[in-house]
Structure 1
C-alpha cells in the first residue's frame, strides 16, 4: 500500500529504502493523529470578522515533519474571486533552527489537483508532507515552505478549482501568514512553485502579486506541467476518464462561483442530463482514496458528458478565458518543467505558453524531460529547479 502511494506521487523508491521507511513512519504518525485533526477544520464560532489577508486565525503543530524541520497547520484570512474575505487552511514548514526575522525566503507551494471537497485538502491527510514535491530539498536550502489547501478545501466553502483570482490570493496570503509565526525567519522574498493546477495558481499569483500583495518580492515563479490554456486542455482531455473528472470539478466550481453570470441551472446548459446529474457527485470525491469511485461514475460518461464545445458556449467560454493565464510577460523569472510523456497536460500546450512568454521578454528557463509523466515531472525537475533558484537575484 505504501509503495503504491509513493508511485502515485512520483517518488522514486527503488534506490531509497530509507525514504520508504521514513514515509511509513510519517504515515503511521499521521494516521494516529488524523481523527484529532478534524476539529481544526471546523470554522470558528462566532465567525471572525474580516481581517487583513494573511492574518492567522488558528495554528497548531503538525506531527511527522521531515527530520530537521518543524511544521504548523494554519487557518488564515484570504480573499475569493469577488474580493470577499474567506478563511483558508494550509501548512507552514520551516527548518527547526531559529532564524532572524525576514532572513528566509518563503517558497509558496501550490498543489496539483487532489479534489475539490473539504476532506480532499492535503493538509488534513495522513501524510501531508509527502505531497509537497521537493520539500526536503527546499528545507535543506534553508527556505520556509508554505502550502495552501485553496479555498473550499479543509474549511468548507465554495470550490475555488481553477479560479485564478482565488487561487492566487490563497497562494500569496499563506506566504504573508508565515511571517506571523515567530522565530522561523519568514521574509518578504517569495518563490512561487506549483504543479499542474498548482502551476495555474502560481502563474496567476505572479500576475496579481504587484497589485494584490505589493509588499511581497516575487523572486521567481516555477511551474511543472502547468494548466496554461484551459480551453485547449479541456478539449484535449474531455474524451477520457481524467478529462471527465477534471471537467466535473471545474464545471461545478464555476457554477457555484459564477452563478450570477451563468443561466439558471448552469450545469444543464453545457452537460448532458447524465453529466449534469453526475458532476456534483464527482465533486464530492477526492482523487486520492476515492479514485475507483470517480472512475465508476466517469467511465460511462466518456463521449456523452458535454453537449457542446465549452470554449464556444455562452458564459462558459468567457469564464474559461478569464481563468486562463494571460500571455502578457511576467515580471519575475519563470521556470517551466514539462514531461514529454504527459498525457494530461499536453506538451504542445505548455510549449505554446513558454514560446509566448519568451517572445514577450520574460526570463524563461524551460526543461522538457523526456521520460517524465504528469505525475513524476515535478520531482524529476527538482535538480534543475534548485539550481535555478540558487541563481535567482
Structure 2
C-alpha cells in the first residue's frame, strides 16, 4: 500500500470511529469530543507500529500459569489522567489448553499501594471473530469500553480482553463460555503483574451482549478456575443468555445471520471432535455453509456492508432447521447457555426495552430464574435503550451499584 492509500485508509478509520462515537453518545460534551478526537489522532499516528505486537512470539513460549504476561507495551491515547498498556498473556481454551490472548490494561495515573485497587474486567460486545477484529488493535481502543472514564475516576483498574483468536491468532472463543470466562479472568490476573498500578485481587466483572455472556460464565467458573480472585459482583447489559432462544428469535434478519455465521464457524472448529465431518453442512443450507466461513473473516465494525451483502440473500435460507433440535448442535447451544444455578455474587442486569437483538423477554426470563434461584439481582429495564445504547444508559445505576458492593 502506498503512502497516499495508507493515509486515505487512516482518514476513513478516523471518520468511522468518530461517527460511531457520535452515534452511541460516548462523549456528548464538546470538551470530551475534542479529547476523543485527539486520542483517535494519536492512535492513527502509531497504527502501523501496532501490528507486530500481535505476531506470535518466536520461539513459541512454553506453557505458563494463566495470567502470565508474555509481552506488554504502552498504548497512546489513554483518557486524561490514566495510563495504559497493551498486553499479551497466557490463558486457556475450552479444552483447558494453554493459549495466548491479547488485551488492554488501563489504570489511573496516580500512584496506589500494591493490591489496593479493584480490577474491573470488561468483556466487549461482538466486534467479529477474526484476529484483526480485536478492539485493542484499533486506532481508538479505549472508546468502546463503556464506562471507562467513570471507572477510572472511581479509582479502579480496568482490563479488557480481546478474547482468544482475536488480536493474536488462536482458538475460537465466540460464545464459547469456558474460553471467554478464562480470558476475562486471566487478564485480571495479568493486571496484578503490571508494576505500579495497584491492581488487587478484588474483581468486578462487567460485560455487554457477548461480553455479558462471557461475564456470567466467568462468575460461574471463578471459584474453581481462579480461586485467588475475589469476585465482588457481575454486571451485564443485554447479555446473551439463552442461546437457543436468541438464535431462534434473530435468525430471520441480517443480524441473526451474521451472528449465526460467527457462532457456527466458531463451534465447528472448537468442537470438531464432537460434531460430524464437515459440520457446517449438518446445520446450514448449502448456501449458508458456503458463506459462513467467509463471513467469519469480516469484522462487524468497518466491514458491515460486506457482511450485509453476503447475509441479506441468506435470510430465510440460512439454517437447515431449528439448531436447538439438531443433534450435536443442540447440546453445544445448551452447554454454552448459562445454567440456572444461582450466581455466587451479586448480579446487575440492564436491558433496553427497544433492543431487537437481545430480546427483552429472554433477558427477563434469565433475571427471573436467577432471582428464583436466590441470586441477589438488581435489574433495570430502560424504556428508551436499544442494544447499542443500553450499557451507556445504565452507567449511573451501574456505578451506584458497584459502589454498594462489599
**TM-score range relative to shorter protein:** over 0.9
Aligned to 2:394: 381
* Structure 2 residue 380 is the aligned partner of structure 1 residue 367: yes
What is the CA distance between 1:11 and its match in structure 2?
A: 1.9
Aligned to 1:137: 150
What is the CA distance between 1:7 and its match in structure 2?
A: 3.9
* Structure 2 residue 286 is the aligned partner of structure 1 residue 273: yes
Q: 1:335 aligns with which of 343, 348, 355?
A: 348
What secondary structure is seen at the aligned counterpart in 1 of 2:158? strand
* Structure 2 residue 330 is the aligned partner of structure 1 residue 317: yes
Aligned to 1:217: 230
What is the CA distance between 1:159 and its match in structure 2?
A: 1.7
Q: Distance in 1 between matches of 2:26 and 2:188?
A: 29
1:208-259 deviation per Cα after TM superposition (whole angstroms, max 9, x unaligned) = 0000000000000000000010000000000000000000000000000000
Aligned to 2:11: none
Aligned to 2:367: 354
Aligned to 1:91: 104
Q: Distance in 1 between matches of 2:22 and 2:300?
A: 14
1:125-167 deviation per Cα after TM superposition (whole angstroms, max 9, x unaligned) = 0100000000000000000000000000000122210000000
What secondary structure is seen at the aligned counterpart in 1 of 2:46? helix
Aligned to 2:21: 6
Structure-to-structure mapping, 1:66-215, within 5 angstroms: 66-215=79-228
Q: Distance in 1 between matches of 2:22 and 2:234?
A: 26
Aligned to 2:256: 243
What secondary structure is seen at the aligned counterpart in 1 of 2:25? coil
1:277-327 deviation per Cα after TM superposition (whole angstroms, max 9, x unaligned) = 100000000000000000000000000000110000000000000000111
Aligned to 1:45: 58
Q: Distance in 2 between matches of 1:131 and 1:286?
A: 15
What secondary structure is seen at the aligned counterpart in 2 of 1:28? helix
What secondary structure is seen at the aligned counterpart in 2 of 1:311? helix
What is the CA distance between 1:12 and its match in structure 2?
A: 5.1
Q: Distance in 2 between matches of 1:61 and 1:90?
A: 12
Q: Distance in 1 between matches of 2:333 and 2:128?
A: 19
What secondary structure is seen at the aligned counterpart in 1 of 2:65? coil
Q: Distance in 1 between matches of 2:78 and 2:236?
A: 24
What is the CA distance between 1:21 and its match in structure 2?
A: 1.4
Gaps of 5+ in 1: none
What is the CA distance between 1:3 and its match in structure 2?
A: 4.4
Report the aligned-residue RMSD: 0.8
Number of residue pairs the alignment of both structures matches: 391
- Give the alignment's TM-score, normalised by structure 1: 0.99
Q: Distance in 1 between matches of 2:364 and 2:297?
A: 33
- Give the alignment's TM-score, normalised by structure 2: 0.95
